Chain A
Amino acid sequence: MLDAAPSRSFDPKDYLRLQYMPHFMCPGCGHGIALHALLAAVHDCGIAKDDLAVVCGIGCSGRVGGYIDANTFHTTHGRPLAFATGLKLARPDLTVVVVTGDGDCLAIGGNHLIHAARRNLDLTCLMLNNEVYGMTGGQASPTTAATRFTSTTQSGAIEPTFDACALAAAAGASFVGREVTRQAPALKTLIARALRHPGFSFVEVMSDCTEIYGRKNDLGEAPEMILSQKADMRPDSHRDATDQPFRPHALPTGVFVERDLPEYGARLRAHAAAIRKEAGR
């Protein structure tokens, strides 16, 4: 099913619940680009909508799933990976995609991320990182860079940030990658690779929140924020001193981890089959 050739060219309308348009995302929000890339990747992989389950948490990222014409689950804050674990174990026939955010996945749901990565169940997790709690009014998240102004860091953030990809990789994820919303085609390709990867795939999508975060930090309007993404992605040694970095730390993009590890669901079923065989059932 996954590798079947797409029967027709990609039209996002085929994958959207058009009756719920226009969507609720702010103008300039990167989440729409991420949604488009996800749908294009689903199309490229030939996944039937009936066989696709999208599990979301809470926050702006949590609302993305509702627009997808698939089996969609808007769960509780921080827990989509845990819900998805139950769903995928119960229904290995489904392609289960988790759409989560930096707060949902790294703060309240951080424990579930590291354990999902460790188990290596065949889930694809898209973490839309906009560095802020957008839905609740722009509070600091675990990826809010130092010195940034948010409604809970009104004199500048001081906490260190998480590198979500390093975290997922260290916890054992068998596929880890990162891409920016500015590079939409590369993002689609990365998500498609993640969907095809048998095991836990973690994709960090560098999204941006113009309305609440960009404005507060003089990062410009959406075009400026999106255009500055690429510059900021360059390694430190290549950075121009005149850059006005949107993200002060260089974040590499691409696939960082792709390893062949036993997939948890298959392992669990093989283990059970061996037990049954031994028990003569």
Chain B
Amino acid sequence: MTQMLDRRTMERREIRLAGSGGQGLILGARILFEAFAIEGRRASQSQSYEPTSRGGFCHSDVVVSEDLSDFPLVTGLDALIALDQVGYDRSIGLIKPDALVVVDERLAVRDVGRLHRLPLAARAVATGHARIANMVALGAFVTLSGLCHPVSLEEAIRRETPERFADLNLAAARVGYTLGETVAV
């Protein structure tokens, strides 16, 4: 049984999606933010604010805290989702010792935190498109962290993605649940 983060706790939680521009990291964080909001949790979502849409290191962070005036930027990550090597390399120094780390299986990583190397990109391609790796990762993250309910995630995906992509994104998230459950057992 994987160690679950209690989503009812009022404690501050810091989550980062890291990778390169164009991987849908900001949309991913926005969906996560929305999923928390659906559950009545207050959060702040920030991102690297640079012209990164055509590649280069990019990150998007979600800080969950019930204190509305809490520091909204990351100080020590409770969870890191890294889609590629640059995202991992540039963010791994920020994790707390027991952080949940979800990365693509192709990454060269050291054994840190609660590390899960998953075929995020491969499953995304098999599901329909490489660009939905972010949704696969979110699905896996939700299962592994227990920070929010899959129902909330799915509702957030419906709210935040264009209608014509909603089904594909939902399918990707569900692939992610399965990946998460497989390694969690």
The short answer to whether A and B are in direct contact, CB under 8 Å, is: no
Which residues of B line the A interface, CB within 8 A? Answer: none
